[in-house]
Amino acid sequence: MPTPPVAKKIPKIDVVHGDRRQDPYAWLRHRDDPDVLAYLTAENAYTDLGLKPTAAFQETLYAEMLGRIKEDDTTVPYRRGGHFYYTRTEKGKQYPILCRKHASLDAPEEITLDLNRLAEGHAFLALGAWAVSDDGRRLVYTVDVTGFREYTLYVKDLGTGMLEPDRVERVASVAWSATPATFFYVTEDHAKRPYRLWRHRLGAAGDDLLYEETDELFRLGVARSRSLAYLFLYSASHTTTEARYVAAGDLGGVWTVLAPREHEHEYEVDHGGDLFYIRTNGGGRRNFRLVVAPVADPRPERWSELVPHREAVMLEGVDVFADFYVLQQREDGLARLRVTSLPSHASHHVEFPEPAYDVEPEGNAEFAAGAYRFRYQSFVTPPSIFDYDTVARELRLLKRTEVLGGYDPTRYRSERLHATAADGTRIPVSLVSTKDAPRDGTSPMVLTGYGAYGMPYPVTFSSNRLSLLERGVSVAVAHVRGGGELGKRWHDDGRLLRKRNTFTDFIACAELLVGEGYTTHARLVIEGGSAGGLLIGATLNMRPDLSTAAVLRVPFVDVINTMLDASLPLTVGEFEEWGNPKLREHYEYMKTYCPYTNLAPRRYPAILVRTALNDSQVMYWEPAKWVAKLRTFKTDDRPLFLKVNLDSGHGGASGRYDALRELAFDYAFILTRLERAS
């Protein structure tokens, strides 16, 4: 191995609640300091040199993964107004091309937006908002060309293909009014918090500021109902919502509060006929219920219940149509769809055959639709687009993502297991392996997790994952507390002063897999990204012997220092997720798990850390500081690599080919470490 970089130390001492905290690597925050870029570049050079022996293997993996993808492909068109919209990709091009056809699928193609053209001259490109006016003549969209998730708004005349002069910086969300020349948008403050709602009239000299959210816990978002009749403005923290509404055609109308904000009351609204449909968890009904209210007077005292709260069922979402509505529910960690006909209110479930899977709504733009479109997939079933006839109760498969190279799903086995945490809680584990994978402890495995924000970890298909499975490596997901697999209480039990449950749950899942013969500690790799990187960082300190290697992608590892800095994006709003270290109780609890704080002299596994210079979610200096500090503590000779993408943000490379190369790099690290352990 080459000699790793050594980051200089510049003393910085902070006193928090009488506790002296030393941070010799705080200087890495100063992005404009030439020494910072020099250090990050040195880390990249060290990583590239250390993994140079895998260069040919990386190319093999890249070719494998690319060979399974249909490079020229098209999504299933969906109807909105007078057009059918779809996206297609072309071989050799990094980004999708957004298209439509007027009235019929046999009509000539119109390209609404070619992201490849927009990406010219940029190392990164991400599309944010995208919305077509009701008359189909104009497109408003936002793009980010740095990775910092700072989006600029443009308006395109779809008839001429030319851009209008209108342009707005730092836009977070956008929605058209029913008047084709007017739309509404939300802009961000200095800390990237969406906080101001504006009305924009095409060609007007200035925009009208309609609302400003002054509470730093809350973020704004504007949206249009599927019925197109109403606009909604949401002001939401992690635990509380306040929604305003206005008729989409009433440009000067008052945005009326539906239900005033109340601590730990979250709700969202949809519209159908003369009713608002409201998903609400007020009154301690944490897993939500469904109520309706008359549009003429939707005050909370007029709410009437359609679907009651159920302790074992999480109501995740509601899609309302003219003749039916669909509930997205989660029970025992699995997504379910419940269809209710209108006006009879007769209900039934759509059944799915596999032990673990994922279901998401897909392209349901028309309010008067007769079928419900969704995307179904699992560890072994590629993404499949279905139309469900809600009257005949029949499924129609429209498209299944093609996996080139002779993919045979019968060669693989998907399982659902449960680990037992120290407090007796059962933790779901989803697992995929080849059918002939032995259960004698000889199989290598990758175990991943997330466990934050009440977000379930989806059980999705990946043709790229076949490069692991075909080499005998099983893949498992630990559905730990802090996520949303088992409802709001599952989230509550893994946040704030219960956050350590997330990490101990993950360890329990790893011990289950070892104890049941699926793998051994010496043949286990653990990985996670963002808040999942926090999970892995905390786990490495608690149980450095748990695995032979670890991969941390854009990891949130400097919890205390970040949460002490209210000027950073996300910090204030996330007091409700992680806590506020300016409160002594929260600070003392964070000290027990913060990965950066708890590094100590011990043997750690081989580690690969990924970050990005323009990351706005987890700043690059968190993983950089963590790696620099870990190098001074670790007592082993196993490699510790830091890979910095200097041109992207939180999600890594934006181009599809570039993203594959990043994954091939990671897989080469994982597979070579597992080979060493065999």
Return the active site residues: 530, 615, 650
- Report which residue type is found at 140: V
Are the beta carbons of 552 and 610 closer than 8 angstroms? yes
Give the CB-side neighbour count of residue 521, counting CA atoms within 13 A: 11
Tokens linked to 655:
């181009």
Number of alpha helices (DSSP H) and beta strands (DSSP E) in the chain: 12, 39
Secondary structure (3-state) at 648 = coil
Gap between the Cα atoms of 633 and 465, Å rounded: 34
Which among 290, 349, 342 has a CA at the least distance from the CA of 314? 290
CB atoms within 10 A of CB 478: 30
For CA atoms 587, 593, 599, 601, give the dihedral sign: positive
For CA atoms 559, 564, 569, 571, give the dihedral sign: positive
Radius of gyration of the chain (CA): 25
Gap between the Cα atoms of 609 and 642, Å rounded: 5
User: What residues does 337 pair with on adjacent strands?
Assistant: 328, 350
Are the beta carbons of 154 and 142 closer than 8 angstroms? yes
Which among 145, 139, 203 has a CA at the least distance from the CA of 169? 145
Where is 117: in which H helix or E strand?
Answer: helix 115-118
Which among 464, 666, 459 has a CA at the least distance from the CA of 549? 666
Gap between the Cα atoms of 71 and 90, Å rounded: 6
Give the CB-side neighbour count of residue 175, counting CA atoms within 13 A: 24
- What helix, strand, coil percent values describe the chain, rounded to 5? 20, 35, 45
Secondary structure (3-state) at 116 = helix
Which among 623, 553, 583, 571 has a CA at the least distance from the CA of 189? 571
CB atoms within 10 A of CB 143: 19
| Sheet bearing 426-434, strands edge to edge | 412-420, 426-434, 474-478, 445-449, 524-529, 549-553, 606-612, 640-645
Are the beta carbons of 186 and 222 closer than 8 angstroms? yes
Instruction: Please report how the helices 55-67 and 656-677 are oriented relative to each other, as an axis angle in degrees rounded to 10.
Output: 120
Where is 47: in which H helix or E strand?
Answer: helix 34-50
Which among 376, 367, 370, 374 has a CA at the least distance from the CA of 391? 370
Secondary structure (3-state) at 514 = helix
Tokens linked to 183:
């739309």
Q: How far is CA 316 from CA 287, 336, 512, 574, in A?
A: 8, 10, 29, 21
